[in-house]
Structure 1
Amino acid sequence: MSETDWSIRLAKLEDAEHLPDIELAAGKLFETIPDLAGIAGGQAIPPERHRKLIVKGHCLVAASGERIAGFLASEPFGRELHITELSVHPDFQQQGIGARLMRGCQIDAHNSGFSALTLTTFRNVPWNGPFYRRLGFVEVEELDSHARLRGEIAKEVSHGLPEDQRAAMIRFLS
């Protein structure tokens, strides 16, 4: 499949029903990492939560015909746009869709007046931390200086994710 076989657009309310299945399918990749098998990737954002995020106007999908190939869910927090989830269905991975969704999010955030993009992720999983670093994100080393991200990590740890493997990241927009 080439780039011309899919396109990026704003998410629509009716997309919300399809997004959890994409997230769960993409999450199966975590089964290949022994330390994370059975811990990560087994839960998805429910459609009702997606609808609430979509209404805020900054969620994107990658569509291939009538099929959604991937999505980026985000939520504004002051001058920062927080990326809640980025998932690409396994049938569409390794085609640049994730990077294109991130670029679309960056452009939208910049044009909307946000000063930064934020997210939380696995520090060393190849399609997580290293992927975001290649896109210009840096790890927030001192979480005490960023209470919201510290809270996000604490919430994830309370849901069973290993604290030593989680990272909060930020990409400042110019």
Structure 2
Amino acid sequence: MTTEEWSLRLAQMDDAEHLPAIERAAGQLFSGDPDLTNIDFDDVWTAAEHRQFIRRGHCLVAAAGELIVGFLTSQPFRRELHIWEMSVHPDFQQCGIGAGLLRACIIDANNSGFSAITLTTFRDVPWNRPFYQKIGFTVVEDMAAHPRLADEISEEANNGLPRDRRCGMIYFIG
């Protein structure tokens, strides 16, 4: 099987067992960043935590054959769908899986009647803000207009992420 052979679908409860390992592996791509030396890249969501999100019906997985290789975990907040985590195993990156997950999320959000999709990410990491902008997300410049995102960035800073390198992003549906 080549890394180009993959598919997307809604996450199922059994998929949750595979997601922590993918998140952990993808997180290692940040381990050489000097601003992140205090971050424990092994501290990822548990399968039980992933199952809580999967129950809400807006989580997606990417599979290469029977192997789960990526996921997107999101949660509704009123009329917005917030992406908490999107991870693709490093062995399957650069294959379009991340873009596929985002496009499927956009379709899901549109079909479910959401007005926007939000997320927080690094401003300066090529596979973060610039990647999301290629899909159509824009940086939220006025964080006062999006207090939920502002609170999320504050919480991330409290957990050791450099506030000045973080941003909120939004994709408007429609």
Aligned-pair identity in percent equals 60
Task: Determine whether 1:78 maps to 2:78.
Answer: yes
- Structure 2 match to 1:24: 24
- Supply the AA of the counterpart residue of 1:35: D
Task: Determine whether 1:127 maps to 2:117.
Answer: no
TM score, norm. by length of structure 1: 0.95
Q: Distance in 2 between matches of 1:55 and 1:100?
A: 22
Range that drifts further, 36-45 or 103-112: 36-45
SS of residue paired to 1:124: coil
Distance 1:114 1:169, change over 3 A: same
For structure 1, the residue ranges without an aligned partner over 5 or more in a row are none
- Structure 1 match to 2:64: 64
SS of residue paired to 2:144: helix
Distance 1:126 1:37, change over 3 A: farther
- Whether the 8 Å contact between 1:30 and 1:40 is mirrored in structure 2 is no
- Whether the 8 Å contact between 1:58 and 1:73 is mirrored in structure 2 is yes
> Which stretches of structure 1, 4 residues or more, deviate above 6 A after TM superposition?
none
Q: CA RMSD in A?
A: 1.3
Q: Distance in 2 between matches of 1:28 and 1:37?
A: 12
- Whether the 8 Å contact between 2:22 and 2:89 is mirrored in structure 1 is yes
How many pairs are equivalent?
A: 173
TM score, norm. by length of structure 2: 0.95
SS of residue paired to 1:171: strand
- Supply the AA of the counterpart residue of 1:29: L
Q: How does 1:17-166 map to 2 (within 5 A)?
A: 17-39=17-39, 41-166=41-166
Distance 1:40 1:143, change over 3 A: farther
